[in-house]
Chain A
Amino acid sequence: MPNDPRELLPLPSHDFQVLLSLLAAPRHAYGLARAVEEQPDAGVRLEIGSLYRILARLTAAGVIEDFDPPANAEGHEARRRYYRITAFGRRVAAAEAARLDNLLRTARRAKLLPSRGSK
């Protein structure tokens, strides 16, 4: 398991989306897919196969971890796996965000985007 978040960068964009939505709250897979799809401008749809591959990959890398459902869950809600981001995962997400920020700054300098503060 890597200790340096930078080893995982650049993060595939779907993985990053998953991390972002887990930052907001722990979720199960279906809730996660809904949350990612409902993000404005996300423009992604997580199909079942790729979603679970991402979850398996991120779990193996120690970026997220699964845990037992909350005590008040019922029916097949109680059978589900819930996922939350680990402390290491937060560092990975932050490192990826910083990397993207750098990238954007370069893009601004290349006049692809209006620079900050200007209209």
Chain B
Amino acid sequence: MIDRLALEMIRLALKAFPRRFRDAYAQDMSDFFADRWRASSGSWNRGALFIRSVASLLIAAASEQARPSDAVARPVEIRGPKGGIVNSVLQDVRFALRLMRRQPSYALFVVLTLAIGIGANTAVFSVVNGVLLKPLPFAESDRLVAIWGRFDPESGFDFPRFVLSIPEYLDYRNQSRSYEEVAAWAPTSLTVGGEGVEPERVTGAAVTENLFRLLRVAPAFGRTFSAEEARPGGPPLIVLSHAYWQSRFGGARDIVGRTVPINGRTATVIGIMPQDFSYPGRTTRIWTMLRIDPANPGGRSSHSYRAIGRLASGASIESARNELQPLMASWKAAYPDIHTGHYLFIRPLLEDVSGTIKPALLMLLGATGAVLLIVCANLATVIMARGEARSREMAIRGALGARKSRLVRLSLIESALLAALGGVLGILIAQAGVRALLTIDPTSIPRSSEVTADGRMLAFAAALSVVSALLFGLLPALRGSSPELVSTLKESNSTVSGGAGRQWVRRGLVAVEVALSVVLVVGAGLMLRSFDRLLSVQPGFDTRGMLMASINLPGVSYGEPERVEGFYEQLIARLRSVPGVRAASAGSGVPLWSDTGVWDFDIEGKPRPGRGETAWNAGITVVRDQYFETLGIKLVRGRFFDSTDRSGSMPVAVINESMAARFFPGVDPIGRRIRVSGDQTAWMTIVGLAADIRDQSLDDPPRPMYYLVQSQTPATARGPYSEMTLIVRSAMAPEALVPPIRDIIRQLDPKLPIYDAQSLETVRALSVARPRFTTTLLTLFAVVGVMLGATGIYGVLSYSVARRTQEIGIRRALGAETGVLFRDVIARGMQPVIAGLVLGLVACYWMMRILENQLFEVSTTDPGTYAVVAAGVILVSLIACAVPARRAIRVNPIIALRAG
């Protein structure tokens, strides 16, 4: 498809050569291009080849056109005094510039329209380039792969992508022959400071010592971890990110070798990473060592690690995949309990980093492409109309001896000049646009720091300019270049607007513009409807006036469960006494923000599901009393936790409706007992049934969940929960509570930092950042598209009405009613609009499938959206037609008749 399109464009460009040259070489030349096309691979190379070839052909064609042909006798051409190709081209350029100066509004219109099309495309392309195309910033990054686990339903779970356990990582590293290096890491968060220094919670990564070697990144100075230090029990060592070193340690070089208080212990700083290094994430500030004890690597099912590998030379991702299959079969044979329906898979690291946003970005690129096509169709109609207005001038020039080829060249040079100006302006628009794009959404676009204006972006803009110059310039040029001298000179007296052929082309272009606009607007309409649904989802809890803030108690000073409980009891009690606070509690997580985990459980009196059956598991949240009341989660039946549910009292649990429906169908769960799977955990009595909430995202349906009491977790969940998130509801702006909370915590323990302090409204807004981003942009492009489409309709109709002034004048003089004339003009204008509308709606029916995964509770063929769009397009087009139609019927017949 693309191959054919490229070849067709080349054939089109070949038309710019003089006939003599074309007859001799055109066939051979298109074969030549086809050979080069086949010989190059990759879209980038092919794109570059295409652009180079088109540019080369246009230059060569212009030179051939200017070369005096010695074969054919021809009229003497009037040339500038110096002659020569450069001079005559310069002469044309000067002439084109003069024309632009004479009609600045026309030139401005063309350049601005073009700049919008090129700018929008270039801006979105820059994002696509930075996020999807650019290699990751590591040496030979195409050899880097991400290693993931997968749980098929057969395993009792259904996780298409899951993290690994250390034994899985070790086995894969040792058994696979495809890798130079395999590394593992896990995200951590660390408390830096204490002892007189303001404590701070920072994001870090615990990495195996080989990670930096694998990525082939050397520290800016100092060193990274060594293999000898990887043995368990060594002293804590850390590597700092460049940004954190600057902000927290003022960029002091002598920090290397010094110790820093981390998590209540001291760690030695051994190195600083370079400024542009940000793996695994932009916010990673500290790397600690993931020390693995091969004798005691932890459970094979303790999945919490990510793994990446660098393929050995000679291995490819395919060969590594081929190797993986028998390996997984042997794992299944060795550990049937764990590896039934659970196995590893690999994919390129780049896909891993940018995979999730790919469909949205490609959709936006498609949308801007449609805008550019509308721009070109629009300009082609405008230029054709103008070309016809100038056909007398051309005919006279022809009669005076100007060669046809010279006229084609003049027209092409005009288009090229306009395209070049539009391209330059487009680049400026694109740069502003990229900045704006990244401000709309700095967080949900991966790798956004790598989105920059670079050579590729400039090349893309240049290519767009060339392609659009071809699209909107060549067609009118070819049509305008064959002036039938006599008939054109005569035609100036005729009353019809151009020949029937030109009429048809112009009306066809209008239909195409309308169809493209319809596709854009339907796409935007569906996204808007979907986004509206998403915003109006009732999540099952109340975000208004809510503040969250997280705390983690270090194990060093809070080893005993009593100390943990004592701390939180005091903290919550003091929070509740702060003026303005209406309710306060804490939980191991808050909805839409935290991932609190999915745990297996047993039901008393029922045998555990066997292998191959769906395991019993549900989302878990550990909470304190008043958690539900503070968040506004509704009680369905029974009771919520209160202050009498303590470590010594009867262990209790609350489950949600989804869990009751799935695991206790047709029975009353209240009074039944469950426990977290394991032999040492206590049975908990279900005392209450909570309403469902959307805790993972607004568009995921609620999942089964159960809630445990924090003070009972030593018995019910194998240990105390020391990392909790405070939730506070108040009458004031939530953020205003942060200083009093900090004060209270400082009084209790000056070494503790709080982190993630933010309102739940912010959390909710962040959770829909990506759909907001795509919807905003798509809507913007649709509005631009419709406006351009409307100007196109208006322009074509004004032009044809102006050409029909005389005819209309005659009809009025003969007594035609103005109403009839008005309807007639409108009807003619609306014909291509209706054709385009039908075409666009049919195209939508097929094309909107690409939106399927982006839409929430809206069908891709939503009749309401289609109807509204159709009505809107008809309305806008009617207005665009009515203005010139009114002008036409108001014409004074006498003047109209004289005008001919």
Contact = CB atoms under 8 A, between A and B. Distances in A.
Interface of A: 28-30, 33, 47-53, 55-56, 76, 79-81
A76 B59 CA distance: 27
Contacts of B25: 52, 55-56
9 contacts: A29-B28, A47-B53, A48-B53, A48-B57, A52-B32, A53-B64, A55-B25, A56-B24, A76-B31
A56 B63 CA distance: 13
A28 B27 CA distance: 13
B850 interface: no
B56 A50 contact: yes
Nearest to B29: A52
Given A30-B36, A55-B25, A49 B31 contact: no
B799 interface: no
Contact of B21 (A29, A56, A76, A80): A56
Given A30-B36, A53-B64, A56-B21, A48 B29 contact: yes
B21 A48 contact: no
A81 to B, nearest CB: 5
A80 B28 contact: yes
A21 to B, nearest CB: 15
A53 B60 CA distance: 7
Q: Which of B35, B53, B63 has the most chain A CB atoms inside 10 A of its CB? A: B35
Contacts of A79: 27-28, 31
Contacts of A53: 60, 63-64
Given A49-B61, A52-B25, A29 B56 contact: no
B558 to A, nearest CB: 69
A63 B64 CA distance: 19
Nearest to B70: A60
B118 interface: no
Contacts of A30: 31-32, 35-36
A31 B53 CA distance: 17
B60 A50 contact: yes
Nearest to B16: A49
B60 A52 contact: yes
A49 B32 contact: no
Contact of B36 (A48, A52, A56, A76): A48
A48 B28 contact: no
Interface string B53-75: 10111111101100000000000
B33 A48 contact: yes
Nearest to A49: B60
B639 interface: no
B253 interface: no
Instruction: Give the dominant DSSP class at A's interface.
Output: helix
The 10 A-B residue pairs whose C-beta atoms are closest, nearest first, are: A49-B60, A47-B56, A49-B56, A30-B35, A49-B57, A48-B53, A53-B60, A29-B32, A52-B25, A30-B32
B52 interface: yes
Contacts of B61: 49
Nearest to B57: A49
A47 B27 CA distance: 16
B57 A33 contact: no
Given A28-B28, A47-B52, 11 more contacts: A30-B35, A33-B32, A47-B55, A48-B53, A49-B56, A50-B56, A52-B25, A52-B32, A76-B31, A79-B27, A81-B28
Instruction: Give the dominant DSSP class at B's interface.
Output: helix
Q: Which of A29, A53, A76 has the most chain B CB atoms inside 10 A of its CB? A: A53
Contacts of B28: 28-29, 52, 79-81
Contacts, number: 56
Interface string B18-50: 000100110111011111100000000000000
Nearest to A77: B31
B297 to A, nearest CB: 54
Interface residues of B, number: 23
A81 B28 CA distance: 7
A5 to B, nearest CB: 20
A55 B60 CA distance: 12
A56 B58 CA distance: 16
A10 B841 CA distance: 63
A49 B35 contact: no
Nearest to A32: B32
Contacts of B60: 48-50, 52-53
A69 B314 CA distance: 41
B128 to A, nearest CB: 27
Q: Which of A30, A48, A79 has the most chain B CB atoms inside 10 A of its CB? A: A48
Contacts of A28: 28
B469 to A, nearest CB: 16
Contact of A48 (B27, B32, B63, B64): B32
A80 B28 CA distance: 6
Contacts of A33: 32, 36
Contacts of A48: 29, 32-33, 36, 53, 56-57, 60
Nearest to A51: B32
A49 B36 contact: no
A33 B52 CA distance: 15
Nearest to B21: A56
A41 to B, nearest CB: 22
Contacts of A56: 21, 24-25, 64
A48 B61 CA distance: 11
Q: Which of B32, B33, B58, B59 has the most chain A CB atoms inside 10 A of its CB? A: B32
A81 B56 CA distance: 21
Nearest to A52: B25
Contacts of B53: 47-49
B21 A49 contact: no
Q: Which of B21, B25, B53 has the most chain A CB atoms inside 10 A of its CB? A: B25
Q: Which of B21, B24, B34 has the most chain A CB atoms inside 10 A of its CB? A: B24
Contacts of B52: 47
Nearest to A34: B39
A45 to B, nearest CB: 8
Interface string B531-549: 0000000000000000000
A56 B33 CA distance: 17
B734 to A, nearest CB: 63
A79 B29 CA distance: 12
Nearest to A48: B53
Contacts of A81: 28
A48 B14 CA distance: 11
B33 A49 contact: no
Contacts of B57: 48-49
Contacts of A29: 28-29, 32
A69 B32 CA distance: 15
Q: Which of A28, A30, A49, A80 has the most chain B CB atoms inside 10 A of its CB? A: A49
Q: Which of A47, A52, A76 has the most chain B CB atoms inside 10 A of its CB? A: A52
B25 to A, nearest CB: 5
Contacts of A80: 28, 31
Contacts of A55: 25
B571 to A, nearest CB: 71
A12 to B, nearest CB: 13
A33 B49 CA distance: 14
A72 B52 CA distance: 33
Contacts of B24: 56
A50 B63 CA distance: 10
Nearest to B63: A53
A81 B25 CA distance: 9
B85 to A, nearest CB: 12
Q: Which of B27, B52, B60 has the most chain A CB atoms inside 10 A of its CB? A: B60
A4 B52 CA distance: 36
Nearest to A30: B35
A28 B31 CA distance: 11
A47 B28 CA distance: 14
Nearest to A46: B56
Contacts of A50: 56, 59-60
A29 B26 CA distance: 12
A49 B27 contact: no
Q: Which of B29, B55, B61, B63 has the most chain A CB atoms inside 10 A of its CB? A: B29
